[in-house]
Amino acid sequence: MPERLFDELRKRNIKFKPDADIGKISSLGIPATALVLVEPKDTSELITVLDLCCDKGISYRVIGRMSNTMPRGERYPGVLIRTTGINRCRLRDGRVYAECGCSLSSLVRLGSEGGYGGIEALYHIPGTLGGAVYGNAGACGTEICDVFISGRVYYPKERRIICVDNEQMRFSYRKSALSEAEGVFLDGELRLVEKSREEILSLIEAHRIKRQNQPKGVKTLGSTFKRAGDLSAGYYIDRAGLKGFSIGGAEVSRVHAGFIVNRGGATAEDVLRLIEHIKTRVFECFGILLEEEIQIL
């Protein structure tokens, strides 16, 4: 089955890597491979790859920079489709058109160069627009839903592209319509507001300072769990006495309990066991069941 897929990809000159090392891609840095990593260069190739996988009954996942995504084990048995090469964007009259693989930081920079802002808080989130829309990413009181106008979503099983607006995306805390369906975000438009470049740069710096309590210079996927009510998951994890607790090479950050870090040699099993231990301990202490914010392949 993989060889037939590889032949189809070769015919179409679509970039792919069999037995790809995805540990080097994930920001958590745990060792893992995938059956194949496909890297389409535009939305047309992305749709083609999705169709091929559906036609051949091969499981797949669409990923961006893997800044909040980790493999479940040492090998992902399907196709990983990486969108970082699909990254065209442009700005016109305060509206940004961007493709799914654009980094959030590049969109902030594009806006600032034209005198438009409103998404400065997203600058330090190391993900792509596609991932941000999928999970309604946010920081410091700003979420992608605040600026999202419309976008195109492809549904592989139905072989159709649907144009959706903000309301149809059904955004909520770290969720969207995409996180409850099998649609793949292709591209979309964001609405920015007029601001001077100096003001934008000042806000970027202010948000950077606010994030100083987060672990730096370590391998991590960012916030491991979603907020629990009005309080962060880190609040409960810290008060459950788990800051610095580790299983194998995976550790609850000593800087911010909401983060799991790879202190060296962590495996997927280490991380998953630590996640379950945290959830169990927090539930025992506070009766609160934490929900993962990270994505697990």
What amino acid positions are annotated as catalytic residues? 174, 223, 293
- Asked if 49 and 274 count as a contact pair (C-beta separation under 8 A), the reply is no
User: ∠ CA 56-62-64 to the nearest 5 degrees?
Assistant: 150
Instruction: Tell how far CA 24 is from the center of its chain.
Output: 16
Token pair recorded at residue 228: 């629990």
Token pair recorded at residue 14: 């679509």
How far does the chain reach from its first CA to its final CA, in angstroms? 21
Q: What residues pair up with 142 in beta bridges, in sequence order?
A: 139
Look up tokens 């970082």; give the residue. Answer: 84
Look up tokens 């964001």; give the residue. Answer: 190
- What is the residue type of 211? R
- What three-state secondary structure class fits 50? helix
Those residues whose C-beta lies under 8 Å from the C-beta of residue 158, and which sit 6 or more positions away, are: none
271 vs 263: CA distance, rounded Å: 11
- What is the residue type of 125? I
HSE of 209 in the Cβ direction (CA atoms, 13 Å)? Answer: 6
Token pair recorded at residue 292: 């993962």
> How far are the Cα atoms of 40, 151, 161 from residue 165, in angstroms, in the given order?
25, 7, 13
